[in-house]
Amino acid sequence: MELGYTGLLTRVVSELQSKATSPVGELRNLRLPASLCERAEQKFGGRFGSLEELLTFVLQELLRDDAAQMDEAERRIIAERLRDLGYM
């Protein structure tokens, strides 16, 4: 089951609300739609100190989630091979 970005945000925030995020290294400026930023601040403002903290956290989790998705893909391949061989 794939999660959309909203589902991922909700899951990640609920699991790791107390985890502090801090940017490491050089920082970059981004241009984002004001309405999107305002909605994110309204929805997650109580859980993160700033929009930058929220976005840092989300990007870190998305990158981490890529590895988990690869693990899941490997599990599916193995299960399919076992089924094809008659073990499942």
| 71 is a domain residue | yes
Note whether residue 39 is domain-resident.
no
Residue 75 included in any domain: yes
Total domains in the fold of the chain: 1
Q: Where are the alpha helices (DSSP H) in the chain?
A: 5-15, 34-44, 51-84
Using pLDDT thresholds of 50, 70 and 90, give the confidence band for residue 39.
Answer: very high
Judge whether 88 lies within some domain.
yes
Q: How confident is the model at residue 13 (pLDDT cuts 50, 70, 90)?
A: low
Distance from C-alpha of 41 to C-alpha of 54, rounded to nearest angstrom: 9
Q: Which range (1-5, 34-38, 40-44, 63-67) has the least confidence?
A: 1-5
Whole domain around residue 60: which residue ranges? 48-88
Question: Residue 81 and residue 72: Cα distance in Å, rounded?
Answer: 14
Q: Judge whether 8 lies within some domain.
A: no
With cut-offs at 50, 70 and 90, classify the pLDDT of residue 88.
confident
Instruction: Confirm whether 31 is domain-assigned.
Output: no
Q: Cα(73)–Cα(16) distance, rounded to whole angstroms?
A: 25
Pairwise CA distance, residues 32 & 5, whole Å: 16
Residue 66 is assigned to a structural domain of this protein: yes
- Confidence band of 40 (pLDDT split at 50, 70, 90): very high
The pTM of this model reads 0.49
